[in-house]
Amino acid sequence: IKTQAYHSMLGAHYTLHDCTAGYTHLTDEERAATRVLVTAGFRGATGAEMDELPNLALICCVGTGYEGIDVQAALARGIRVSHGAGVNAGAVADHAMALLLSAVRAIPHQDRLTRSGAWNYTETPRPLVSRKKMGIFGMGGIGAALARRAAAFDIEVSYHSRTPKTDLPYAYVASLRELAEASDYLVACVPGGPSTQHAVNAEVLEALGPKGYFFNVGRGSVVDTAALIAALQSGTIKGAGLDVFETEPDVPAELCALENVVLTPHMAGNAPEVQEMAADLIRENITAFNEGRALVSPVPEMRALTPAI
Ligand code: NDP
């Protein structure tokens, strides 16, 4: 990973090689001596990349999402995999609320007008943020943290995930389309991958309706981008706030041209406090591995493995 903060936090304890662009710059000795790979979910590691490091024993993903890591390839090679379970849930939930407030109250647009000297506080009054209904797609760490924040805004929460959460007070909705239909705000907090690919499609956006807003802090692949652009252009939905994109780091020009979207560069989970927690968790996993103990935050596929590796 490129992020300088991780290089300095982990570099104080281990010998680091920057392999963002590959492994060809490493000598044979350096490859053989490399035991741990630290990566990000959207970058990941393929089986072929794992084979570049013959003694690789542990892959640590900095964040929660690890869809870019071929976990089955790792496990088949006896390589353990950890992830940053829960480290950035609060940061992502904060950011989802920031996108929501920005989009509904048109903060970026009003900021531009005010800076330009156009003092126009009566221009199209913006709706209340509060006293609305939020549908959360994915009630995991991020979804639950977002629900708590939404409740403080007097927003009624319901959700859709694979399984109902009996320990949470929010209404479970069996299908995403029905969730969209019942919501003013639909927020995607699910992982990427085949099971969620384009789950938010034209039908779901149609169900959200002309007063509805869509927010995505999960993964870009969760939404059919062409359908989203069409829905935003035609007024099928009112607006959107997006932190993740199917083609990131490229953002479609059609989205950039729209006034009714707020865009941020996949930064929701990134904060200095989060980087520190993630680096600490990576160190705890490496220490556990070195001492022959179970990993502190293995990916679920590893937890399910018998016999354990
Ligand atoms: P969790 O694993 O805690 O929760 C994921 C939730 O998604 C669970 O409720 C799960 O359902 C649900 N889910 C998964 N697949 C499906 C599916 N096919 N249909 C319906 N629901 C599904 O993850 P987090 O909340 O910590 O993070 C969620 C995702 O957010 C990450 O995987 C990552 O992709 C993204 N993320 C984005 C960041 C950013 O900067 N924008 C930063 C961090 C994460 P169930 O509970 O029933 O299993």
DSSP 85-135: TTTTHHHHHHHHHHHHHHHHTTHHHHHHHHHTT---TTSSPPPPSSS-EEE
How deeply is 257 buried, as exposed, middle or buried, from its count of CB atoms within 10 A (0-12, 13-18, 19+)?
A: exposed
Confidence of residue 307 (pLDDT cuts 50, 70, 90): low
Beta bridge partners of 223: 200
Say if residue 37's pLDDT is above 70. yes
Say if residue 122's pLDDT is above 80. no
Q: Which residues line ligand 1 (CB under 6 A)?
A: 63-65, 88-89, 92, 138-143, 161-163, 189-192, 195-196, 217-219, 243-244, 266, 268-269
The answer, yes or no, to whether the previous bond of 169 is cis (omega within 30 of 0) is no
Q: What is the pTM of this model?
A: 0.92
Name the residue at shortest CA distance from atom 33 of ligand 1. 65
Candidate of 162, 221, 301 to mutate for ligand 1, largest count of ligand atoms within 8 Å of Cβ = 162
Residue at 81: amino acid letter: V
**Per the structure block, which two tokens stand in for 245?**
């994109």
Query: Each residue of 37-67: b (16+ CB within 10 Å) or e?
Result: bbbbbbebbeeebbebbeebbbbbbbbbbbb
Q: End-to-end distance of the chain based on CA atoms, in angstroms?
A: 25
Candidate of 94, 148, 161, 177 to mutate for ligand 1, largest count of ligand atoms within 8 Å of Cβ = 161
**CA pair distance 239, 126, nearest whole angstrom:** 12
Confidence of residue 186 (pLDDT cuts 50, 70, 90): very high
CB within 8 A of 263, min separation 6: which ones? 241, 242, 251, 255, 256
Secondary structure of residue 259 in the 3-state scheme: coil
**Per the structure block, which two tokens stand in for 47?**
């089986």
**CA pair distance 268, 215, nearest whole angstrom:** 12
**Per the structure block, which two tokens stand in for 57?**
């024993």
Say if residue 306's pLDDT is above 70. no
Give the H/E segment covering residue 264.
none
Confidence of residue 297 (pLDDT cuts 50, 70, 90): very high
Confidence of residue 5 (pLDDT cuts 50, 70, 90): confident
Name the residue at shortest CA distance from atom 3 of ligand 1. 140
Secondary structure of residue 147 in the 3-state scheme: helix
Active site residue 30: no
Active site residue 248: yes
Question: Rounded to the nearest whole angstrom, what is the distance from the C-alpha of residue 152 to the centroid of ligand 1?
Answer: 22
Averaged pLDDT for residues 16-39: 94
Counting every residue written for the chain, the total comes to 309
Comparing 19-33, 112-126, 157-171, 260-274, the range with the smallest average pLDDT is: 112-126
Tens digits of residue pLDDT in 275-293: 999 999 999 999 999 999 9
Secondary structure of residue 157 in the 3-state scheme: strand
- Average confidence score pLDDT of the chain: 95
Of the residues 52, 156, 248, 284, only one is catalytic, namely 248
Candidate of 1, 43, 64 to mutate for ligand 1, largest count of ligand atoms within 8 Å of Cβ = 64
Name the residue at shortest CA distance from atom 20 of ligand 1. 161
Question: Rounded to the nearest whole angstrom, what is the distance from the C-alpha of residue 217 to the centroid of ligand 1?
Answer: 10
- Give the per-residue pLDDT at 124: 78
Say if residue 211's pLDDT is above 90. yes
Active site residue 266: yes
Question: Rounded to the nearest whole angstrom, what is the distance from the C-alpha of residue 129 to the centroid of ligand 1?
Answer: 24
- Give the per-residue pLDDT at 156: 98
Confidence of residue 198 (pLDDT cuts 50, 70, 90): very high
- Where is pLDDT greater, at 100 or 305? 100
Of the residues 67, 266, 283, 284, only one is catalytic, namely 266
- Give the per-residue pLDDT at 106: 95
**Per the structure block, which two tokens stand in for 138?**
């994915």
